Amino acid sequence: MLTTLSTQQRAIIDPKGQNILKACPGSGKTYTVACKLAYLMDSWTHRNAGIAALSFTNVANEEIQAKLAEHSIVPSYPHFFGTLDSFINKWIFLPYGHLVMGCNSRPNIVGIGENGWELPLAWNWGKAYQECWGKNCNLLNFTYNETGELINTNQLLNKDTCPYEMARCTELKKRFTQAGLATQSDTAYWAMRILNDFPVVAKALASRFPVLIIDEAQDTSHVQMKIVDLLVQNGLSEASLIGDPDQAIYEWRNANPAIFLEKYYDSGWNSLDLTENRRSSQLICNATHPFSSLKEPAMAVGNASNCKTTPILLMYKAESEEELLKDRLKEFCNENSIEISPDLVAILCRGNTGLRRVLKVEKNNVSPWNDEITRYFAQAVYYRDIKNHKDAMTCVDTALRKIFYGTNAHRINYVETEINKTMGMEAWKIMRWSILKHAPATTLAIETWKTQMQILIKTVLIKEVEMKYKRTTLKTRSVASFFVKAQSEDIMVETIHASKGKTYDAVMVVISNRGKGTVKQIAQLTPADEELRNIYVAMTRPRKLLIVAIPANTAQKDLLRFPKGVWEYISLKANAEGESKNS
Ligand SMILES: Nc1ncnc2c1ncn2[C@@H]1O[C@H](COP(=O)(O)OP(=O)(O)OP(=O)(O)O)[C@@H](O)[C@H]1O
């Protein structure tokens, strides 16, 4: 694999110590990380110490593993592949959280996977809770910063705006912690505390995983970076962070690209760069440059580098022509000999509303459920029907835990012990499987499905469980219709977040004049603003053809980042009717 690397890419293969690699889009971050991991694992001799290869999302980590699989490499013990969150949970927080939280036993994380958010008594603070909830101030939004101060991740709600100066949530959070509970954001804080207060744990972890590689490291929070620092201080032999600050789009999870850049400019870290774009044409690199913090446009060096298709600024009439965009994109692909398939062609929107408009689908996200158990069963059976057996199992398991263990359902260890004490794990699995196997299809009308499901549950559990949905729900509507996502078969239509890390031949980015990421915002923002970085992520996905669809009534002053010549201006209707281009 190493022979395929460029000189710039080769530079990150060998170094030990602390390395930070800042890389532009398409420069082969994922590709190079996979090569480095393959190389390291091939010559790995430690039997009980391994590499921790971490990403921010499961999708990103799976992408690296898929690249390794192409070379028949499957990561296994002693290595750990997963998200940074899962590493923190498994190796630091869950085994040692009780040391810093003041709880009696192994702590629990609420709200991950299918674990519900509804919580035991510590959560319930009566009338005051209702009042705060009514103002959309939810304890789940609270976590700790690196100094241990309680912060609200919702920027509009803070100590200054809270009429109680956050006294209530501070007290509640204390009780929550003492009960051994933490949200996913809290776990990083507690993990940091553990490594800080118990250097012996930090040293043991640095010996267990002497090499730490973090992909997409631009999304690191302060607390997570402190964890890396503590591991380094306690003997880590290599920490390599790879990222692109212009592609940081997880600020809502306390990520901040400035944290990554601080390390890049820190003389204690070995700073490296990847400046060549191996994905896109030079014309796309030139056109996207004003949306980044790069001094110069990236140099295109991949197979598509010489593609001569000028990026297109497509003017469409907002509120009426969105549904024509998909067909127009296909025409552009035909004109440029680009094969039309969901792997190669995509429309990217900032949010789901945009997706629905492009796909001409009615607003479909009305939830009929007001009862968690019914919802989990319905979701489980829907997953079964679309052959997603893993998630089907998880959902049915959650529903059963809620039926049998109520407010303790989220306490995985407790539930496991109870099952073993009572019916035994084998019987539990048979029960789970029987429900999934015999559950009525989700193509049935919700009323019929509910009745049949209720009978099945009674037969399998020998227990009466009432299935409920909202009274206002149309009884004849199928259960599946509440879960079906807007889909397109011939090309991919997805959100910008879902497109992160991907490569297409042709991409149309649809910009709206409402909601997030509007034309006005894009005109005014800098790469220090996440909205602009979202658009940049989207625009840097294509190899050959980039189209940005923008409302036709956009003022000239808002188009400064789209200079004519670099962009070809085309009006959707004018071109469809064969009129001359509006350039
Ligand atoms: N040395 C190389 N040889 C061949 N192909 C490469 C090489 N490096 C990267 N590529 C290809 O270039 C494209 C972009 O690579 P990759 O997805 O790893 O970039 P990235 O930096 O992770 O991109 P982004 O951050 O924009 O998602 C991919 O199609 C990848 O296979």
**What digits encode the pLDDT tens for the residues 89-110?**
999 999 999 999 988 888 888 7
- Closest ligand 1 atom to the C-alpha of 500? 27
The confidence band for 130, taking pLDDT boundaries of 50, 70 and 90, is: low
Per-residue pLDDT, averaged over 222-236, amounts to 96
With the most atoms of ligand 1 within 8 angstroms of its CB, the residue from 68, 242, 278 to mutate is: 278
Atom of ligand 1 nearest to the CA of 215: 22
Which of 214, 277, 289, 244 has its CA nearest to residue 51? 214
Measured CA to CA, the distance from residue 127 to residue 113 in angstroms comes to 29
- HSE at residue 104, side-chain half, CA atoms within 13 A, is 1
Pocket test for ligand 1, best of 250, 279, 500, 536 (most atoms within 8 A of CB): 279
311 in ligand 1 pocket by Cβ < 6 Å?
A: no
DSSP 8-state symbol, 567: B
Q: What is the pLDDT of residue 534?
A: 94
| Range 124-128 average pLDDT | 55
pLDDT top residue among 540 and 106: 540
272-325 per-position pLDDT tens digit: 999 999 999 999 999 999 999 999 999 999 999 999 999 999 999 887 788 888
Sign of the torsion formed by the C-alpha atoms of 130, 136, 141 and 142:
negative
Classify each residue of 23-60 as buried b or exposed e, where b means 16 or more C-beta atoms within 10 Å of its C-beta: bbbbbbbbbbbbbbbbebbeeeeeeebbbbbbbbbeeb
491 versus 535: the higher-pLDDT residue is 535
d(CA 454, CA 446): 12
Q: Band of the pLDDT at 142, cuts 50, 70, 90?
A: confident
pLDDT for 178-192, tens place per residue?
888 888 889 999 999
Residue 289: how many CB atoms within 10 A of its CB? 18
Q: Residue with structure tokens 């996913």? A: 184
What ipTM is given for this predicted complex? 0.98
398/377 Cα distance (integer angstroms):
9
pLDDT of the residue at 92: 97
Q: Rounded mean pLDDT of the chain?
A: 87
* Between 36 and 141, residue with greater pLDDT: 36
- Give the per-residue pLDDT at 493: 87
pLDDT at 19 over 70: yes
Select from 503, 507, 536 the residue to mutate for testing ligand 1; criterion: most ligand atoms less than 8 Å from CB. Answer: 503
Q: Is the CB of 6 under 6 A from ligand 1?
A: yes
- Answer yes or no: is the C-beta of 25 below 6 A from any ligand 1 atom: yes
Residue 581 has pLDDT above 80, yes or no: no
> In which band, very low, low, confident or very high, does the pLDDT at 202 lie, cut at 50, 70 and 90?
very high
Q: What is the pLDDT of residue 40?
A: 93
Say if ligand 1 is within 6 A of residue 67 CB.
no
pLDDT tens digits along 345-380: 999 998 877 777 777 665 555 678 888 899 999 999
The answer to whether the CB of 243 is under 6 A from ligand 1 is no
pLDDT bin (cut points 50, 70, 90) of residue 582 is very low
Q: Which atom of ligand 1 is nearest to the CA of 278?
A: 12
Q: How far apart are CA 25 and CA 31, in angstroms?
A: 12
Instruction: Tell me the residue type at 26.
Output: G
Q: Which atom of ligand 1 is nearest to the CA of 67?
A: 31
Q: Which atom of ligand 1 is nearest to the CA of 5?
A: 1
- Which tokens go with 34? 């996979």
The answer to whether residue 15 scores a pLDDT higher than 80 is no
Per-position DSSP letters for 168-226, written without gaps between them = HHHHHHHHHHHTTEE-HHHHHHHHHHHHHH-HHHHHHHHHH--EEEESSGGG--HHHHH
Look at ligand 1, atom 4, and give the residue with the nearest C-alpha: 4
Q: Is the pLDDT confidence value at 551 over 90?
A: yes
583 lines ligand 1 (CB under 6 A): no
What's the gap in Å between 352 CA and the centre of ligand 1? 28
Whether the CB of 57 sits within 6 Å of ligand 1: no
Mutation pick for ligand 1 pocket among 6, 31, 56, 62 (CB with most ligand atoms within 8 Å): 31
What is residue 251's DSSP assignment? Answer: G
What is the model's pLDDT at position 472?
A: 83
Distance 125 CA to ligand 1 centre (A): 51
The β-bridge partners of 506 are 345, 545
Residue 149 pLDDT greater than 90, yes or no: no
Residue identifier of the C-alpha nearest atom 26 of ligand 1: 25
Radius of gyration of the chain (CA): 26
Give the phi and the psi of residue 383 in degrees, each rounded to 5. -60, -45
Query: Considering only 227-231, 296-300, 557-561, which range has the smallest mean pLDDT?
Result: 557-561
DSSP string, 352-415: HHHHHHHTT-----------HHHHHHHHHHHHHHTT-HHHHHHHHHHHHHHHHHGGGTT-HHHH
